[in-house]
Amino acid sequence: MGQSLATRLALEGYEIEWWTSGTEAARCLVEPRTRVELVLCDIRLPDMNGEQVFAEVTRVRSVPFLFMSGFAEIDQAVRLMRSGAVDFITKPFDMTILLERLQSILSAHAPSDAEAVLGPSAAMRQTQMIIKRYANHSLPVLFQGETGTGKEVCARYLHRISPRSGQPFMAVNCAAIPGELLESELFGHEKGAFTGAHQLHRGYAERAGQGILFLDEIGDMPIHLQSKLLRLLEDGTFHRLGSERPIAFQARIVCATHHDLASAPVGQFRQDLYYRLSTLPLELPPLRQRPEDVLWLAHVFLDDFLEGQESRVRGIGPLGEEALVTHSWPGNVRELRNRVQRAAAVSDTAWLLPHDFFPEGSRRLSQLWSSETKTLSHAREIAERRQILNALSANDGHVSRAAQALGISRTTLWGKMKRFGIEAQRGGSET
């Protein structure tokens, strides 16, 4: 039955990952890099039952489960629905009914193209969906990821769609403010609290009101302030420096860090504070793991930069686009934004070229764009590769849909992707 389902769903255009035991499924699904939009799971499995798989996976991540149950397992399926499973289907079932259920669930749990505001890739659409779930709560949120992945952008998006959107968003960079000043900036101080305190100062925690207090680079907060932040979380109050009067804290705390706080050395970050801050965690993938977002973001940054000013720049040329999508982006989204803005500011051409983005002239680019490689066949391969990337991006990584949009067979597209070194993106339509 599993083989039959996998084959049929693949023919319908879904990207399938098929696990033949509960242990294997649970082990793979708890891995952050395993990106799925839906799990189709039998209740009876060779080594455990589907309820155990559901319990193990949902301890560490949120993913919709559709259960297949026999008539004798209906009570268990209903219990799973109450625990958070999205639906169940009773065996034997008609494949048409299953396909309708799958499409209904995927449509309900994925943002539409028009709603994609963080990026069109499956990874960022999933991130956007999770942020929407987090938005209506008041629990702390912890964004983790490499420097430049867009953690503050996600925090501001959470604020914008939350019930607190009309309240302040106060951002504090814990790494940019010297440790001896951070306490005063965060909690404020009374007049005369220390030398130079000539007047009352209300800190970020107070000015945030009922909005959001965003603590960027929380992993760099001095250890003595971590205990005060923990007290704020537990008691809901804080004190200005030089005052014994408690002030009620009404804002929501959202944090970001590029450090692995869970395994931080003793004395660097309090584990009890980490557990309080990571009530609602979210890991942001680096840009190199979501190439579908590169051109989308590049055009967004270019449009924003050109808005309201006169410039001879009209857009990004085909060679420039190819240079962008083949770069590894060690600086992530921040590097992409900076390179796009710099290129638009200094370029003498209407259409931005590789040298505009990468003036340092790396060996890779010189090899890619040297006169010896600018043959007609090479230019055709560049255009073909870019068109395939665009089609995959427009269809959320669905190979079958991209092949249909390009007017070629799925097999032909797979062959070209292999030749051009284009990897299929996990997620998007995996079931």
Question: How many Cβ atoms from other residues are within 10 Å of residue 101's Cβ?
Answer: 18
How many whole angstroms separate alpha carbon 45 and alpha carbon 47?
6
How many whole angstroms separate alpha carbon 332 and alpha carbon 151?
11
How many whole angstroms separate alpha carbon 72 and alpha carbon 386?
52
CB of 397 closer than 8 Å to CB of 292: yes
pLDDT value at position 286?
94
Half-sphere exposure (Cβ direction) of 115: Cα atoms closer than 13 Å: 15
Helix (H, G, I), strand (E, B) or coil at 376: helix
Q: What are the CB-based long-range contacts (under 8 Å, 24+) for 84-87?
A: 84/54, 84/58, 85/54
How many whole angstroms separate alpha carbon 386 and alpha carbon 391?
9
Contacts with 192 (C-beta within 8 Å, 6 or more apart), sequence order? 242
CB of 261 closer than 8 Å to CB of 274: yes
Contacts with 248 (C-beta within 8 Å, 6 or more apart), sequence order? 236, 237
Contacts with 284 (C-beta within 8 Å, 6 or more apart), sequence order? 127, 143, 144, 145, 146, 149, 150, 151, 154
Query: What's the pTM value of the predicted model, to 2 decimals?
Result: 0.64
Listed residue (366, 367, 350) closest to 358, CA to CA:
366
DSSP state at residue 103: H
Q: What are the CB-based long-range contacts (under 8 Å, 24+) for 263-272?
A: 264/219, 267/223, 268/219, 268/223, 269/219, 269/221, 269/223, 269/226, 270/223, 270/226, 270/227, 270/230, 272/230
pLDDT value at position 109?
64
Each residue's pLDDT tens digit in the chain (431 positions)?
888 998 898 888 888 999 999 999 999 998 877 778 899 999 889 899 888 999 889 888 878 899 988 877 777 777 787 777 888 888 888 898 899 888 888 776 655 544 678 998 888 988 998 898 898 888 999 999 999 999 999 999 999 999 999 999 999 999 999 887 898 899 988 887 777 777 888 999 999 999 999 999 999 999 999 999 999 999 999 988 888 889 999 999 999 999 999 988 888 999 999 999 998 999 999 999 888 899 999 999 999 999 888 888 889 988 888 889 888 899 999 999 999 999 999 988 889 988 899 987 644 444 444 444 445 566 567 667 777 877 787 777 788 888 888 888 888 888 888 777 776 654 444 44
